Amino acid sequence: MDFEVVIGLEVHLQLATKSKIFCSSSASFGGEPNEYIDPVTFGLPGALPVLNYKVLEYGIKMGLALNCEINRFNRFARKHYFYPDLPKGYQISQFEEPLCERGRLDLFINGGWRSIGIKRIHMEEDAGKNIHDSRTGSSLIDLNRAGVGLLEIVSEPDIRSPEEAGFYLKAVRQIARYLEISDGNMEEGSLRCDANISLRPAGTLQFGTRTEIKNLNSFKNVEKALEYEIARQHKILKEGGKVVQETMTFDTSNLTTRPLRSKEESSDYRYFPDPDLPPLVLEESLIESIRQELPSLPNERLKTLTEGFGLSEYDALVLTAEKASVDFFQAVFDVCNNAKLASNWITSELFGRLNKEGKELKDSPITALALGQLISLITDEVISGKMAKSVFDEMYETGESPDKIVEKKGLRQLDNEDDLLKLITKILDANVDQLATYFGGKDRVFGFFVGEVMKETKGSANPKKVNELLKREIEKRR
Amino acid sequence: MIKNLSKLSRLKITDDKDIESIIAYVGKLNSVNTDGVEPLSHVHGSKNIWREDIVSPSSSAEILEGAPDKSGTFVRTPLVIDG
Amino acid sequence: MVKKDISSRELTEKALKDIEKNSNLNAFITLCADDALKAANEADNLRAKGDTRPLLGVPIAVKDMILTKGVKTTAASKILSNYIPPYDATVVRKLKTAGAIIIGKTNMDEFAMGSSNEHSFFGPVKNPWDTKLVSGGSSGGSAVSVAARLTPFALGTDTGGSIRQPASLCGVVGIKPTYGRVSRYGVVAYASSLDQVGVFARSVEECALLTETISGKDEFDSTSVDITPVGEIKFGIKGLRIGIPKEYFTEALDPIVNSLVSEALNNLRSLGATLVPISLPHTDLALAAYYVIAPAEASSNLARYDGIRYGIREEAEDLFSLYANTREAGFGSEVKRRIIIGTYVLSSGYYDAYYKKAQQVRRLIQNDFLDVFKNSCDVIAAPVSPFPAWKLGEKVSDPLKMYLSDILTIPVNLAGLPGMSIPCGFTSDRLPVGFQLIGKPFDEKTLYQVGATYQKETNFHKELPPGVEDGF
C-alpha cells in the first residue's frame, strides 16, 4: 500500500518592531536578562496592554503578500496556561477572529509551481525564555522576549514532502525579508517552526493521525525530522499498527524524534476575547494604503527576471534570493542596460568575492552604479571583458569608479584601426612559418596570432577588432 | 470535571456544594432566547485603539526588586521539567 | 484651608489621629503617615505662594486595590500582603498632580470580591453607625473613612456595586463613573469589562469635584475613553424625566428601604421632575450574567499570582507545587470560589452555554437601559441595596445569599452606565439608606444635577454616626 505524506507547518515569525506588541519596552535582541521589562511585560497587578500599530501593519503586509483575506473585524483573545515564561498566566493571541485567513503561497520548486494554502495568520505576543539548570535544580527566567510581537502563520496540510516543507519555509522567510518585517532567522529564533505530519493511503481523502514536532531550529533539521517521522509512521502503519497522536521533539544528536514528556494537563486554553483590548475594525483605506506600500514580491521579481529580462531560472533564483540582491541587479541594469552581463558580473564576480570574505551585499565596496558603469565600458568597447576583470579587482580594493581607474591606468582598449593594422602586419610578417601552418589547415594557429597581438598590446587591444583585422589581413596573404 | 478545574486553576476545591449551587443558579440564563443577539464585550463599542511603535525607558531594577527569588537579574524558580 | 482656619498639616495630623482613634473600625490596612505629613507641609507652602488648586493639601484615602508606588498595596489578600508596587496607578498620579494627600490604603474585600468587607485577609470592616454591622463591600474601608469623617474623600472601585452599596450602608455619597471614564491602569484587575474606579464623598458637589479630577482618557488603558469635562453643576430639575424601574421595587426590597426611597422620589417630583414608570425587563437575569462574566474574567486576571515575580511565595519542590501551594495559601475562600467558577464557565464545552450566553444577556440588559433613555426618561432612580446594613457574620457562609445584596447595582455595571448612591434617610435603628441615580453613558452631569438639587433640600448626607465630628 502506497502512503501519501500530509504535512502542515506552523511558523512563528518574530517581528522586527522597535517596541513590543502591547507595551513600549524595547523588542531588541540581546540585552541583560530582564532589562527590557516594564509593568506590562512583567505581568504586574494593574498592568494593561496597548496595541503597537506596527505589528498590525506588518501582519496586514504579510497577509497581503500571502494572498490572504484580511478580516476587517478581528480581535485578540486570551489563551490560558501556567508557565514561568508566561507572566500573566495567559498569552494574548487571536483565536476565532484572526487577522488573515484563506491565503496561498506559490512555491517554485524544481522548475514548476506548487500552491500551498495558508489557513490563517494571526498576531500574538511572545513568551520569555527559560534556562533550565538541572545541576542546581532551578530554572532561570528572562522576560526580555516576553511581549515581543509575533505573527503565527498556519499552512493548510498541503505540503507533500520534507523537501517541499524546506522550500515553503525558505519562501516564507524570503517574503518576510522582502517585506522587511522580520529577519526570519531560525538559528536566532526569529523564525520558529512546528511541523504536523501524518500519512494516509494514497488516493484517500481522510486524514491519518498526526504527530506534532516541536523545537526545530534549522531548515535542515525540519527536513530531517520529517524524513525520520515519515519512516517511523510508515513502519507502524505497514505493520498494521496505529500512530499515536502526540507531540514530539527532534533530537539533533541522533536525528530522531521522540515524544515530549506529556504536558501537565490536556490543553484547555479557555480562550475568550480579551476585555482589555477593543476589537479591530479595519477600514478599506487603511488596507489599501498598506497594499500600496508593498514592494514587488519574490515571485514577481523572479518572473520579471526570467520572462522580462530573459535570464536563466538559476540566475534569477540567485538574484531574487534577497530583495537587496534583485534591487542591486535592477540598479546595475538601469545603468548598463545589459541584463545578462549584469547578472553574470553580480552572481559570479561580486558574490564570489563577497562570499569568500564572508561579507554581505550591503558591505560591498562596489556600488551598483559603479558596476553598471563598468559593464557599460565593456559594452561600449572601451575595454575588453578580460581587462574589465582587473578593473573590477581594482574597484573592489579601492572603491574608485571604473572610469577613473581606466584613465589612471591607461587601460583603454586599443582599437585604432591604423595602429592595430600596423601591429598585425608586423606580426604576420614576423611569423611567416606560422602563417603557412595556418594555411595548411591548422586553425588553432589563429589563436597564436591573437595572442601575439595581445602580448604586444599588453592585453589592451580590442579583441573583436583584432579578430576582424587579423582575419582580413590573413586572407589577404593567402 | 472538578478535578480538572483544580488542575487548570492550580487550586484545591473544598466546597463543591456552594460552587454547584452557584453554577446551578447561573443556569437560569438559559431561560431566555438569545438567538441573533450579539455578545457585548466592549460596552461602548470602542474599537481601533493603538499606539505608535516607540520605545519608552522603564525602571527594570525597581520592578525586579519584588521578585522573591533571583539569580543575578534572572528570576528563579524550581526546575521546570519538560521534554 | 483657603480661609487659613486650618492648615493642611493640621488636617493631616488630625486625620491620622482620628484613624488611630477609630482603628476598631479596621478601615485602613496601611497608613502613609510620613509621606502624608511631608506632602501636607509642601501643600501649605504652595498655598502660601498662591496655589489655588481645590484639592491641594486635602487628605484622601485610597482603596488598597489601587497601586501606590512605594506604598504597600495588597488588594486585601495574603498573596500580595508584602507587595510594594514600583509604579503609581494613573488615578493616583492625577491625585498627586492635583496636590491631594494620600493618607493611607483602605481595607476591602479580597480582590474586590464581596459585598460586606468580611472577606479581607486583614479582618472585616465595621460600620460606624453600628459596629456590630457590616460596612458593605467591597470598598468598605473607603466608605467608612468618609462616613466616620476620617477623610473627606476616598477612592474605591465598583465592579458590581462595590462603591454604591457600601455608600448606601454607610450614609455617604458614592459614584461609579461610566465605564471608560476613569483609567484602570494601575488598578488591580478583578473583572476587566466591569471594573471602574470611583469616589466616596460627603456631598454630591464634592463627589463631582474629585470624580472630574480623576477622569480622562489614558494612553495606558485601551478601554478608557475621551470625555468632555462636566463643567459647572446645574441646579434645578424642572421637567427632567426620572424613570422608575418597576423591576427594582419587588418584595425582595426591605419595606423601610422601599419607603425611604419612595420618599426621595416624591421629593424629586416636588422639585419639578416628572416620574415616569419604566420597565427594564431583563433585570432578573443580571445577577446570573454577572456571576458568569465576573468570575470568568477574574479567573483570568488572577492567573498571574503565582509567587514567581512578586508577592508571597510558598515552599515548593517543583513548579506545579509552587503554583498550587502559593495560590492555595495566598487566596481566601471567596476568591478561590470565583476562580473555580470562572474556570468552569470558560472551559471547553461550556464556553458557549455560559460565558457567551452571559455576554448575550448582557447586551439585552444594556439594550433595556438604552431603550428607556432613548424613549422615556433622562435619568433613572432606584434603591441601591435591598436592605440596610446587616449583622457581621450573618450572610458570610452563604455565598449565594451574599450575592443577592448586589442585585440592584449589578445591572449598571453590566451596561457600563454611571451610577451614584445618595443618602435618603434612616431606619428606626438609625441605619442609613441610600437611593441611586443611573445615567446615560457619560452623562455624569445629569447625575450631579439631580443629586445636588436633592441635597439642597435634604440633610441626610450631613448626619453623622454616633461619636463622629466633621472636622473637614
pLDDT of residue C428: 97
Tell me the Cα Rg of chain B: 22
CB-based burial, A43-61: b 16+ in 10 Å, e otherwise: bbbbbbbbbbebbbbbbbb
Amino acid sitting at position C70: G
Q: Given C116, C120, C138, C168, which residue is catalytic? A: C138
Find all residues with CB under 8 Å of C446, minimum gap 6, and list them. Answer: C240, C378, C379, C439, C440
Residue A83 to chain C, least CA–CA distance (Å): 9
Nearest to C423 by CA among C395, C468, C379, C465: C465
Is B62 contained in some domain?
no
- Chain A positions in Cβ-Cβ contact with residue C191 (cut-off 8 Å): 275
Residue A52 to residue B55, Cβ atoms within 8 A? no
Domain shared by A431 and A469, yes or no: yes
Q: For C301, which residue in chain B has the nearest alpha carbon?
A: B9
* Nearest neighbour of B53 by CB, restricted to A19, A258, A264: A19
pLDDT of residue C188: 98
pLDDT of residue B83: 39
pLDDT of residue A478: 83
Q: How confident is the model at residue A387 (pLDDT cuts 50, 70, 90)?
A: confident
pLDDT of residue A457: 82
Domain shared by A273 and A313, yes or no: no
Counting the structural domains of chain B, the total is: 1
Task: Give the mean pLDDT of C152-162.
Answer: 98
- pLDDT tens readout for residues A113-141: 999 999 999 999 999 999 998 888 899 99
pLDDT of residue B1: 66
A286 touches B at CB < 8 Å? no
pLDDT of residue B54: 98
- pLDDT tens readout for residues A310-353: 999 999 999 999 999 999 999 999 999 999 999 999 999 999 99
Task: Give the mean pLDDT of B33-39.
Answer: 96
Instruction: Tell me the C-alpha to C-alpha distance, in Å, between residue A214 and each of A183, A211, C341, C428.
Output: 21, 10, 33, 71
pLDDT of residue C368: 98
C72 touches B at CB < 8 Å? no
- Chain A positions in Cβ-Cβ contact with residue C297 (cut-off 8 Å): 275
Task: Give the mean pLDDT of B23-45.
Answer: 95
Q: How confident is the model at residue A442 (pLDDT cuts 50, 70, 90)?
A: confident
- Chain B positions in Cβ-Cβ contact with residue C363 (cut-off 8 Å): 37-40
pLDDT of residue A339: 96
- Chain C positions in Cβ-Cβ contact with residue A48 (cut-off 8 Å): 184-185, 189, 220-223
Q: How confident is the model at residue A263 (pLDDT cuts 50, 70, 90)?
A: low
Last residue of a domain, one of A267, A287, A307: A287
- Is C135 annotated in the active site? no
Paired with C275 in beta bridges are C242
Q: What percent of chain C has pLDDT over 70?
A: 99
Q: How confident is the model at residue A389 (pLDDT cuts 50, 70, 90)?
A: very high
Paired with A52 in beta bridges are B51
A143 touches B at CB < 8 Å? yes
Determine how β-strand C241-245 pairs with β-strand C130-134: unpaired
Tell me the Cα Rg of chain C: 21
* Nearest neighbour of A268 by CB, restricted to B8, B64, B72: B8
Q: Which of residues 153-192 of C touch A (CB under 8 A)?
A: 184-189, 191-192
What are B's interface residues with A at a Cβ cutoff of 8 A? Answer: 4, 7-8, 10, 41-42, 46-56, 58, 60, 63-64, 71-83
Domain shared by A232 and A124, yes or no: yes
Domain shared by A335 and A259, yes or no: no
Burial of A73 (0-12, 13-18, 19+ CB in 10 A): exposed
Give C24's DSSP letter: G
Residue C225 to residue B31, Cβ atoms within 8 A? no
pLDDT of residue C1: 66
Residue C276 to chain B, least CA–CA distance (Å): 26
Is B82 contained in some domain?
no
- pLDDT tens readout for residues C345-367: 999 999 999 999 999 999 999 99
CA within 13 Å, CB half, A127: 17
Q: How many CB atoms lie within 10 A of CB A324?
A: 14
Domain shared by A247 and A280, yes or no: yes
C22 and C128 Cβ atoms separated by less than 8 Å: yes
- Is C23 annotated in the active site? no
pLDDT of residue A262: 60
Task: Give the mean pLDDT of C427-438.
Answer: 98
Crossing angle for the helix pair A417-430 and A463-476, to the nearest 10 degrees: 50
A44 touches C at CB < 8 Å? yes
Tell me the Cα Rg of chain A: 31
Q: How many CB atoms lie within 10 A of CB C131?
A: 16
A14 and A55 Cβ atoms separated by less than 8 Å: no
- Is C183 annotated in the active site? no
pLDDT of residue A476: 87
Task: Give the mean pLDDT of C51-74.
Answer: 97
DSSP code per residue over C117-131: S---TT-PPEETTEE
The 3-class SS string of chain B reads CHHHHHHHHCCCCCCHHHHHHHHHHHHHHHHCCCCCCCCCCCCCCCCCCEECCCCCCCCHHHHHCCCCCEECCEEEEECCCCC
Domain shared by A363 and A230, yes or no: no
Instruction: Tell me the C-alpha to C-alpha distance, in Å, between residue C467 and each of A10, A324, C140, C148.
Output: 69, 81, 19, 9
Determine how β-strand C419-426 pairs with β-strand C173-176: antiparallel
Q: How confident is the model at residue A266 (pLDDT cuts 50, 70, 90)?
A: low
Residue C348 to residue A270, Cβ atoms within 8 A? yes
Residue with grid cell 481522510, as numbered in its chain: A206
What is the tally of helices (H) and strands (E) in chain A?
16, 17
pLDDT of residue A264: 46
Domain shared by A217 and A304, yes or no: no
Q: For C219, which residue in chain B has the nearest alpha carbon?
A: B51
Distance, CA of C11 to CA of C16 (rounded, Å) = 9
Amino acid sitting at position B73: T
Find all residues with CB under 8 Å of C149, minimum gap 6, and list them. Answer: C18, C202, C464, C468, C469, C470, C471, C472
Task: Tell me the average pLDDT of chain B.
Answer: 91
Q: How many CB atoms lie within 10 A of CB C34?
A: 8
Q: What percent of chain A has pLDDT over 90?
A: 75
Cell numbers given for A179: 517585506
Is B34 contained in some domain?
no
Distance, CA of A216 to CA of A228 (rounded, Å) = 13
Q: Which of residues 20-39 of A touch C (CB under 8 A)?
A: 39
Task: Tell me the average pLDDT of chain C.
Answer: 96
Residue C391 to chain B, least CA–CA distance (Å): 21
Q: What is the ipTM for the molecules in this complex?
A: 0.96
Burial of C169 (0-12, 13-18, 19+ CB in 10 A): buried
Is B18 contained in some domain?
yes
Residue A138 to residue B77, Cβ atoms within 8 A? yes
Residue A48 to residue C303, Cβ atoms within 8 A? no
Last residue of a domain, one of A389, A409, A429: A409
Mutation for A interface: B51, B52, B59, B64, most A CBs within 10 A? B51
Find all residues with CB under 8 Å of C71, minimum gap 6, and list them. Answer: C30, C32, C35, C84, C85, C102, C105
Cα dihedral value C352, C356, C357, C358, nearest 10: 140
Give C285's DSSP letter: G
Crossing angle for the helix pair A445-456 and A463-476, to the nearest 10 degrees: 120
- Chain B positions in Cβ-Cβ contact with residue C354 (cut-off 8 Å): 26, 29
Q: Which of residues 11-70 of C touch B (CB under 8 A)?
A: none
C220 and C183 Cβ atoms separated by less than 8 Å: yes
Distance, CA of C27 to CA of C31 (rounded, Å) = 11
- Chain C positions in Cβ-Cβ contact with residue B15 (cut-off 8 Å): 333, 337
Residue with grid cell 430639575, as numbered in its chain: C237
Is B57 contained in some domain?
no
C158 and C139 Cβ atoms separated by less than 8 Å: yes
Domain shared by A88 and A15, yes or no: yes
Query: What subunits make at least 3 CB pairs under 8 angstroms with C?
Result: A, B
Nearest to C156 by CA among C127, C100, C117, C130: C117
Amino acid sitting at position C414: L
CA of residue C338 relative to chain centroid, distance: 20
C355 and C398 Cβ atoms separated by less than 8 Å: no
* Nearest neighbour of B44 by CB, restricted to C225, C340, C403: C225
Helix (H, G, I), strand (E, B) or coil at C225: coil
Cα angle, residue C170 at apex, residues C165 and C173 outer, rounded to 5°: 70
On the question of a cis peptide bond just before residue A262, with omega within 30 degrees of 0, the verdict is: no
Residue C441 to residue B34, Cβ atoms within 8 A? no
CA within 13 Å, CB half, A336: 30
Give the structural domain span for A448.
417-476
Domain range annotation of chain C: 1-472
C97 and C190 Cβ atoms separated by less than 8 Å: no
- Chain C positions in Cβ-Cβ contact with residue B69 (cut-off 8 Å): 313
Mutation for A interface: C90, C335, C346, most A CBs within 10 A? C346
Nearest to C167 by CA among C389, C324, C411, C472: C389
DSSP code per residue over C129-193: TEEEEE--SSSHHHHHHHHTTSSSEEEEEESSSTTHHHHHHHTSEEEEPPTTSB--TTB--SSTT
C309 touches B at CB < 8 Å? yes
Residue B18 to residue C399, Cβ atoms within 8 A? yes
Give the structural domain span for B3.
1-29
CA within 13 Å, CB half, A343: 18
Determine how β-strand A138-142 pairs with β-strand B74-78: antiparallel
pLDDT at residue C10 is higher than 60 = yes
Task: Give the mean pLDDT of A2-24.
Answer: 97
CATH number of the domain at A447, please: 1.10.10.410
- Chain A positions in Cβ-Cβ contact with residue C221 (cut-off 8 Å): 48, 50
> Would you identify the CATH topology of the domain C1-472?
Amidase signature (AS) enzymes (3.90.1300)
C220 touches A at CB < 8 Å? yes
Q: Given C116, C162, C183, C224, which residue is catalytic? A: C162
Q: How many CB atoms lie within 10 A of CB A265?
A: 12
Counting the structural domains of chain A, the total is: 3
- pLDDT tens readout for residues C262-305: 999 999 999 999 999 999 999 999 999 999 999 999 999 999 99
pLDDT at residue C4 is higher than 80 = no
Residue with grid cell 467591597, as numbered in its chain: C138
pLDDT of residue A477: 86
CA of residue A373 relative to chain centroid, distance: 28
Helix (H, G, I), strand (E, B) or coil at C428: coil
pLDDT at residue B13 is higher than 90 = no
Residue with grid cell 526545530, as numbered in its chain: A216
Task: Give the mean pLDDT of A429-452.
Answer: 88
Task: Give the mean pLDDT of A159-171.
Answer: 97
Mutation for C interface: B13, B21, B44, most C CBs within 10 A? B44
Mutation for C interface: B11, B12, B33, B80, most C CBs within 10 A? B11
Q: How confident is the model at residue A265 (pLDDT cuts 50, 70, 90)?
A: very low
Cα dihedral value C443, C446, C448, C454, nearest 10: -150
